[in-house]
Amino acid sequence: MSYFVVTYYALLIGASCLAAFYKKREVFLLLFSLTLVSFVMGIVGGVSALTAVSVGAGLLAFAAGTSYAFREFLIIISPDDIAKELRTAPLTAAFGMFVIFTYAIAGIFAPYIAPFGEAEVISSSFAPPDENMLLGADQLGRDTFSRIIYGARNSVGIALGATILAFTIGALCGLLAATKGGWFDQLMGRVADVIMSVPSLIFALLMLSIFGTNIIVIIIVVALIYSPRVFRLARAVAGNIVVMDYIEAAKLRGEGTWYLIRKEILPNSTAPLIAEFGLEFCFVFLLIAGLSFLGLGIQPPTADWGSMVRENATLISFGDITPLIPAAAIALLTVAVNFVVDWMLHRSSGLKE
């Protein structure tokens, strides 16, 4: 039995005993469950499986520690009312906020972080990693690491722009439909039903094939696809508010439609709409990445994570995981946003721990 195995089990059992002695029930359950899993994996897979389990546990511990430190940092720098809410945030939400913050920094400061330009050819095709290229080169000899950094700006930026446009159109139409009612409400509802009846990917491929694949067209088409989802939510939320007594009192005072939306309805429907914004961003982000993978999204030489997966897919046949890095970047951001959205939905629902 190697020193690694002995040390690993000794640390786990010792930490479990300390957690039990100090009455840390959740920590004890976590550590002892990890001990049992490690024991089974060690028997089945040997030292290699045990090493994989320990590496995974170490990564989870590192992520938890980073999330805790980032949450405490946000609590310190935030105003008192926001800090009070952040203290109740779970570590998953803190991890999501840290990932979003990291992506934002990478996108904003991409020219300063990336060692080379996104379209700069510096080596031969599929050159291996070296001291200049952290992740090697792509099929044209461009630095893969630099293109991933620039992809954070392009992929996330375009998805954010399309989400803002979809959210603006959908929320505005939904609030107007709930406030005005009548024929306008019926008309907007039928338009939303028609758009939602067409599969989003097929609709996007058709529109982009007709109008081209420049960035403006992509943003408009994707916004039109997802605005009906926002419309349905905004219409449902506002529909429960417009029947309240204070809305009737405002109408009796002679207040107009825009006053009711800005001062009465919107402030009382902010929480679910913000949560919906996060969910819509995930859907839009994945759709744009899928369109780029199919060749009808963001066009070369602009760096985009979806197109990078397609361009370097042949490397997987040779055991190179480089094409999986942009795919992992897409998945990580989607999971991070969902962590934050889950926390916001929990807060807006009024449920207590």
Residue 131 sits in a domain of what CATH number? 1.10.3720.10
Q: What is the average pLDDT across 77-104?
A: 88
User: Which pLDDT belongs to residue 349?
Assistant: 62
Inside any domain, residue 83: no
pLDDT tens by residue, 276-332? 888 888 888 888 888 888 888 888 788 888 888 888 777 777 777 777 888 888 889
Q: Over 60: is that where the pLDDT of 353 sits?
A: no
| Same structural domain, 339 and 196 | yes
Who wins on pLDDT, 351 or 42?
42
Instruction: Judge if the upstream peptide bond of residue 301 is cis by omega within 30 degrees of 0.
Output: yes
Q: State how far the Cα of 190 lies from the Cα of 228, in Å rounded to an integer.
A: 10
Inside any domain, residue 87: no
Number of domains in the chain: 2
**DSSP symbols for 129-179:** P-SS-SS-B-TTSBBHHHHHHHHHHHHHHHHHHHHHHHHHHHHHHHHHHHH
Rg (the chain; Cα; Å): 25
Q: 98 falls in which pLDDT band (50, 70, 90)?
A: very high
Inside any domain, residue 97: no
pTM of the prediction? Answer: 0.82
For residue 12, the enclosing domain spans 3-69
Inside any domain, residue 80: no
Q: What is the average pLDDT across 81-93?
A: 86
User: Which pLDDT belongs to residue 165?
Assistant: 92
| Same structural domain, 39 and 175 | no
| Same structural domain, 325 and 234 | yes
Q: State how far the Cα of 71 lies from the Cα of 336, in Å rounded to an integer.
A: 14
User: Which pLDDT belongs to residue 100?
Assistant: 92
Q: 352 falls in which pLDDT band (50, 70, 90)?
A: very low
| Same structural domain, 208 and 281 | yes
Give 137's strand partners. Answer: 143
| Same structural domain, 187 and 278 | yes
| Same structural domain, 210 and 319 | yes
Say if CB 118 and CB 303 are below 8 A apart.
yes
Tokens of 279: 């969910």
Inside any domain, residue 332: yes
Angle at Cα 31 formed by Cα 30 and Cα 33, nearest 5°? Answer: 65
pLDDT tens by residue, 156-204? 888 999 999 999 898 888 888 888 878 888 888 888 888 888 888 888 8
| Same structural domain, 224 and 275 | yes
| Same structural domain, 117 and 22 | no
From 14, 46, 69, the end of a domain falls on: 69
Q: What is the average pLDDT across 226-253?
A: 83
| Same structural domain, 160 and 281 | yes
Who wins on pLDDT, 337 or 132?
337
Inside any domain, residue 101: no
User: Which pLDDT belongs to residue 97?
Assistant: 92
Q: Over 70: is that where the pLDDT of 351 sits?
A: no
| Same structural domain, 39 and 176 | no
Say if CB 154 and CB 304 are below 8 A apart.
yes
| Same structural domain, 124 and 188 | yes
Inside any domain, residue 103: no
| Same structural domain, 165 and 269 | yes
